[in-house]
Amino acid sequence: MKPLTYERLHSNLLLLKLTTIEQILDNCLEMAAKDGKTTMEVLDHLFEQEKRYREAAAIERRTRFAVFPVRKTLDNFDFEFQPSIDRKVIEDLATLRFVHNAENVVLLGPPGVGKSHLAIALGMESVKAGFSVYFINAGSLIEKLKKANREGVLEKKLKDFTRYKLLIIDEMGYLPFDEEGAHCFFQLISKRYEKSSIIFTSNKSYGQWGEIFQDNVIASAVLDRILHHCTTINVKGESYRLKDRRKLGLQTGKL
Ligand SMILES: Nc1ncnc2c1ncn2[C@@H]1O[C@H](COP(=O)(O)OP(=O)(O)OP(=O)(O)O)[C@@H](O)[C@H]1O
Ligand SMILES: [Mg+2]
């Protein structure tokens, strides 16, 4: 190859933003000559690598935008530890039909049983499949909505939150909502209803959601919409955190 051809090839690859091909080209051509690969095979390998790199970069970008507090996967969820969870139901959710159909998922149960873990893992599956996902704690969601309401930009904020194909609202029920918060929350649920999915986690059973909203009328209007198309997973059992503490021999008997 003439030096000029070499230079032009590399510069064109960069110009066309084929950066992975540009990086692996020399090595790949060297290996291909050694292994007697055809031109077609070399081109196929180069473009396949470029595509894979771009897909991985897009997944990483969407994962960062989703602001998961930690990264959790279904692969590292121990289903044997939590027999109250039907593995088949989770595997069915992992097909993401619920996201396609704008349905909801609610994970209910006491602390430490894996509600947030499963919510994040389903969120990460959705990110991999190309959906936009956003994770938020219920308390900070309410604070954001109330702030927007006071600044007269609630409609815009609600629109921002309806952009995501999947919204994960974690820890419903640890802190009750005041009247303004409950009102804003209801509007968000109405806006997303039958358009896009939400995963909720909560330590409170549906019967106790009135306490979260401090208003039974709003609670039942919210639940009516959420539950219309919804899979509920009731997790019972021991906290995984407790198991970890036991393993370390740190259990004090108080918890
Ligand atoms: N079955 C499990 N297999 C593997 N790890 C688990 C399992 N259940 C929980 N964990 C881990 O235990 C920790 C606590 O789980 P998680 O945060 O999901 O609990 P939670 O139900 O959301 O509790 P809380 O109501 O207190 O928020 C996390 O680190 C999670 O990854
Ligand atoms: Mg949690």
pLDDT of residue 254: 46
Q: Which residues surround ligand 2, an ion (CB under 5 A)?
A: 116
What's the 217 CA to ligand 2 centre distance in angstroms?
Answer: 26
Give the position, in ligand 1's atom list, of the atom nearest the Cα of 120.
18
Ligand having the closest approach to the CA of 115: 1
- Rounded to whole angstroms, the Cα distance separating 186 from 149 reads 13
pLDDT of residue 243: 78
pLDDT per residue as tens digits for the range 206-254: 999 999 999 999 999 999 999 999 999 999 988 998 877 776 766 554 4
One digit per residue, pLDDT tens: the chain, 255 residues?
Answer: 677 899 999 999 999 999 999 999 999 999 999 999 999 999 999 999 999 999 999 999 999 999 999 999 999 999 999 999 999 999 999 999 999 999 999 999 999 999 999 999 999 999 999 999 999 999 999 999 999 999 999 999 999 999 999 999 999 999 999 999 999 999 999 999 999 999 999 999 999 999 999 999 999 999 999 999 999 999 998 899 887 777 676 655 444
Nearest CA to ligand 1 atom 25: 111
Nearest CA to ligand 1 atom 19: 112
Ligand 1 pocket at CB < 6 A: 72, 77-78, 81-82, 109, 111-117, 171, 201, 203, 240-241
What's the 174 CA to ligand 2 centre distance in angstroms?
Answer: 10
What's the 170 CA to ligand 2 centre distance in angstroms?
Answer: 6
- Closest by CA position to 185, among listed 208, 207, 164, 214: 214
Residues facing residue 106 across a β-bridge: 200, 232
Whether the predicted model's global pTM rises above the 0.85 cut: yes
pLDDT of residue 166: 98
What's the 119 CA to ligand 2 centre distance in angstroms?
Answer: 9
What's the 112 CA to ligand 2 centre distance in angstroms?
Answer: 7
